[in-house]
Amino acid sequence: MRPVIIAANWKMNTTPADAGELAATIAARTAEPSVERVVCPPFVCLAAVGDALHATGVCVGAQDVHHEAAGAFTGDISAPMLAGLATWVIVGHSERRRDHAETDERISQKLRRAVEGGLRPILCIGEPLEVRERGAAAAEALVEGQLRGAVGPHDPSTLADAGLVIAYEPVWAIGTGRNALGSDAAAMAEAIRARLARLGWGADAGEVPILYGGSVTAANIGEFLAEPSIDGALVGGASLKPDEMAGIVGRAGLTAAARLAATA
């Protein structure tokens, strides 16, 4: 049974002075042991958030990692630097692809460094509006290409053992007022697992958790978690609001309970 995961991406919000309190509040409001919860604050807030989440069952993740372990890369953060501060990491987020021109090859390198550093990766893939408007087949082709470029160079068993999680984030549904449907996300999740199988993952392809990440809120999370192929969410702006996170994780808890009951 795949786990149900809710990951919070705080993006470039909060400071070390207020991040700990927010993290503690969210942890208290989302005390649902059947749901894996991850908070990904800015780098400068990792220590404060880690202290606040100690013994709460909520994990800490970083929002990015450099593709090299060390070197002359001013302003960057490597996987070894994250040791003791984070256990998860987001790789290939659409905003990194857009703002920092990250290629699939570079994202694959980051994925390698994350795994070498003992970090559990959340690999983000998703299509922009101009591709979605060409139809579902074009969208699936682009996403499958991103997946092939990122995970293709790696041994499937290594990524499976590292607990790879994939977040499907339709770029056209992030902060645009346009909404993806649960059926859109489910179809893409099935296409992603099919591509993994063709890349040599075999039965392990069906065990990879796939999250939805596209303007997730407490009001719409149910539509996505109703799809058996969707295993949770990568939450952006709503993850800064304890009430929203309480609603999202609460709904995720219902999904986790239903899956557990189905296997009993």
- Identify the CATH number of the domain in which residue 191 sits: 3.20.20.70
Tokens at 83, concatenated: 């040791």
pLDDT at 177 over 80: no
pLDDT at residue 214, rounded to an integer: 87
Q: Are 241 and 14 spatial neighbours (Cβ–Cβ below 8 Å)?
A: no
* Catalytic pick among 66, 93, 127, 227: 93
In a 3-state reduction of DSSP, which class is residue 2? coil
Q: How confident is the model at residue 176 (pLDDT cuts 50, 70, 90)?
A: confident
- Cα three-residue angle 25-62-230, rounded to 5 degrees: 80
CB 235 within 8 A of CB 257: no
Q: Name the residue among 261, 235, 238, 244 with its Cα closest to residue 6.
A: 235
Write out the E strands in the chain.
4-9, 35-40, 59-62, 88-91, 120-125, 165-168, 210-212, 232-235
- The angle formed by the CA atoms of residues 95, 96 and 98, to the nearest 5 degrees, is 60
Q: pLDDT-derived band of residue 189, with 50, 70 and 90 as boundaries?
A: very high
Q: What pLDDT score was predicted for residue 201? A: 97
In which band, very low, low, confident or very high, does the pLDDT at 264 lie, cut at 50, 70 and 90? confident
Burial class (CB in 10 A: 0-12, 13-18, 19+), 75: exposed
CA separation for the pair 3, 165 (Å, rounded): 10
Question: What phi, psi does 32 have (nearest 5°)?
Answer: -125, 95
Average pLDDT over residues 120-130: 95
The H-or-E segment that residue 185 falls in is: helix 182-196
Residue type, 32: E
Query: Does residue 93 carry a catalytic annotation?
Result: yes
71-97: pLDDT as tens digits: 999 999 999 999 999 999 999 999 999
> Would residue 116 show up in a list of annotated catalytic residues for this protein?
no
Q: From the candidates 102, 144, 169, 244, give the one annotated as an active-site residue.
A: 169
Residue 130 has pLDDT above 80, yes or no: yes
Judge whether residue 179 has pLDDT over 90: no
Could you read off the pLDDT of 102-119 as tens digits, one per residue?
999 999 999 999 999 999
Asked whether the predicted pLDDT for residue 144 surpasses 80, the reply is yes
Number of domains in the chain: 1
DSSP code of residue 119: P
pLDDT of res. 173:
84
Q: What is the three-class DSSP state of 4?
A: strand
Backbone angles phi, psi at 120, to 5 degrees: -85, 120
Least Cα distance to 207 among 176, 163, 167 occurs for 163
* pLDDT score recorded for residue 93: 97
What is this structure's pTM?
0.97
Q: Output the pLDDT for position 234.
A: 97
Average pLDDT over residues 22-33: 97
Kindly provide the b/e burial profile for residues 88-97, where b requires at least 16 CB atoms within 10 angstroms of the residue's own CB: bbbbbbbbbb
Which residues, in sequence order, are CB contacts of 78 under 8 Å at separation 6+?
65, 66, 68, 69, 70, 113, 117
Distance, CA of 156 to CA of 204 (rounded, Å): 8
- Domain range for 158 is 4-263
